[in-house]
Chain A
Amino acid sequence: MELTDVPLHAVAHSRAGDKGNRVNLSLMPYDPALYPLLAGQVTEARVLALFAHRGATRCTRHDLPLIHAFNFVIDDALEGGVNGSLNLDGHGKSLSFRLLALTVRVPASSLPARG
């Protein structure tokens, strides 16, 4: 099978939410068949590393196989939280797209055709 490296954005979607100094990022493959593959590649350690420059301390992944979704909860990723942060995006609402820039290796045949 031909494998290709793509940003998660090519095969999955995500939404960010916040509570205090913690952000949660959902992650859902467009094709449920990719769920096990993402489970193997999008690990807590890789996601935590995306936020290391902001001092994130912990990442927990909750798996929801019935709806083919993951929920990543990242502690201390918001540099003080919505109110304490000096960031323009104190809520971290844009951070779903930092996750979606992460590279994954998928079968070329699984990429959706985009017009």
Chain B
Amino acid sequence: MLRMSDVFLVGNGAGFSGDRVDAPIPVVRSLVARGLPAAMFFECLAERTIALAQIEKRRDPEAGYEPMLERLLEPILADCAGAGIPILGNFGAANPMAAARCVARLARRLGLPALRIGVVTGDDVSDAVDLAALPAHEADAGFDLSAWTLVSANAYIGAAPLAEALARGAQVVVAGRTSDPSLAIAPLMHHFGWAEDDWQALAQGAACGHLLECGSQVTGGVFWDPGCKDIPDPANIGFPIAEVGRDGSLVITKPEGTGGIVDLRVVKEQLLYELHDPAAYLTPDVVLDITGVTLDQAGPDRVALRGARGHARPDRLKVTACYEGSWLGEGEVSVAGPNALARARATADVLLARVRQRGLGRRARADLVGVSSVHDSDDGALWRGYDGPEPPEIRIRLAVESATRDDADQAAREALAMLCCGTAGTAGARWRVTPRILTRSFLVPREMVPTEVTVREARAWN
């Protein structure tokens, strides 16, 4: 029989930068009410989020961390501090020190000047590692990056430095790039005293982190398909909580009184999410093998996972580098009613012809939203071949990759011009220009990525 003192709870408060900011509140309420040792983590860094943050930091040296940080932590910080629930997150993005100062200001404002805030740095290797000398591991395809400018290069840090910050008393641990599951593994390592080469225990932690790292995706988000896979109260999906046992048990659940669902279907979907070889899911802490995993519905909104296996961690760390060097121009207009399909096709062809004629883009694409877009190819194979019924409305979208901001803007404005030059009844133009970030990843020896842990009280972060 498992004693409750041998159970540690891990709650997730965000699955990406842009997640629901009120999601952490019921999770923390549940953790506090249950009274078991627990931690909260926030995953806020998609592949290129850090590059966009780096661009922000160039504009303002105190920016470049998760813009919703204060909004996410304000309602829960005092409760977590009071209940001894540490908070970990990669919300430091490109500027963990500035993020720590933000948390410190918030803590002081909430009357918590003694709150211990830890920062893990060292993931930013843009100056330390000569990437040009390394072979690419994964890359956005078909691009010659020699003409591009490096914006950021960050290693996926493992759990050990995060656990060290906890060992030094940190109540909030701010990191930049970490491996997502490591944010959940670190408090487990710290609580259970797992060794860095206890592959079996770490596999349990990695499975926990992998299932929780996308927040509501394991409690009904991305899952619900009305009429087929319904979930209760989708406006208030409860974010996940894992119960991790010293004996290797792992149960996924969610706070009482929240929407969403935890059942075998949703857990299977998230278990395989962004996973390639199920025998070798690579994290900096352990290689996770889920081929022996079994799942059981252990109660309402409770799924137990068994059989995760661990293998020795990779000896190299993944570094993702982000480059800038081109611009994306997008423009859209709508048509509706009789003959909409013919008008939409003609509009798409004219937009592509205008971009070609003016030499504005390296690549261009047109979509007929309502006929075919997200499933289509750059050459519009699906909408060009479409012979189904006439849709009531179609939105025509032009997307152009250009070498300069001005070219991208001019290309996008071609959609605007269709308001007067286009087919009958063309309406609703919108256009925008955004910088394009390309990524390429490399594998680097661990010793090239030394990390540093700084822990100070809120009053001392200035």
A36 to B271, CA, bound (A): 21
Q: Tell whether B295 is near chain A: CB-to-CB under 8 Å.
A: yes
In the complex, what's the smallest C-beta–C-beta distance from A92 to chain B, in angstroms? 8
What is the bound-complex CA distance between A55 and B378, given in angstroms? 10
- Cβ contact within 8 Å between A15 and B292: no
In the assembly, what is the distance between CA of A90 and CA of B276, in Å?
18
Residues of B contacting A73 in the complex (Cβ-Cβ under 8 angstroms): 276-277
B141 touches A84 (CB 8 A): yes
Q: Are the CB atoms of A66 and B439 closer together than 8 Å?
A: no
Number of interface residues of A (CB under 8 A): 41
- Which of A21-29, A38-46, A102-110 sits within the interface? A21-29
Chain B contact patch, size range: 35 or more
Assess whether B274 is in contact with A28, with CB atoms less than 8 Å apart: no
Known contacts A62-B277, A64-B291, A114-B228; A86/B378 CB under 8 A = yes
Q: What separation, in Å, do the CA atoms of A30 and B225 have in the docked complex?
A: 13
What 19 additional pairs, Cβ within 8 angstroms, besides A24-B274, A71-B276, A83-B140?
Answer: A9-B228, A19-B138, A19-B274, A20-B139, A20-B140, A22-B276, A24-B272, A53-B377, A53-B381, A64-B291, A66-B291, A66-B292, A67-B271, A84-B140, A84-B438, A86-B328, A87-B374, A88-B373, A89-B374
Q: Provide the A72-115 mask, 1 if CB < 8 A to any CB of B, else 0.
A: 01001001111110111100011101100000000000000010
Q: Which parts of B438-452 form the interface with A (CB within 8 Å)? A: 438-439, 441
The answer to whether A53 and B382 touch across the interface, beta carbons within 8 angstroms, is: yes
B contact set with A: CB distance below 8 Å:
47-48, 138-143, 222-223, 225, 227-229, 264-265, 268-278, 290-295, 307, 328, 363-365, 367, 369, 373-378, 381-382, 397, 399-401, 436-439, 441
Q: In the complex the two chains form, is A55's CB within 8 Å of B377's CB?
A: yes
Known: A9-B228, A98-B375. A83 touches B47 (CB 8 A): yes
A-B contact pairs, 14 of them (CB 8 A): A13-B225, A13-B228, A17-B275, A30-B265, A66-B307, A67-B264, A69-B271, A71-B278, A81-B139, A83-B47, A84-B143, A86-B328, A86-B364, A86-B378
Choose from A66, A95, A114 the contact partner of B294 (Cβ within 8 Å).
A66
Residue of B nearest to A115 (CB): B227
Residues of A whose CB lies within 8 Å of any CB of B are: 9, 13-15, 17-22, 24, 26, 28, 30, 53-55, 62, 64, 66-67, 69, 71, 73, 76, 79-84, 86-89, 93-95, 97-98, 114
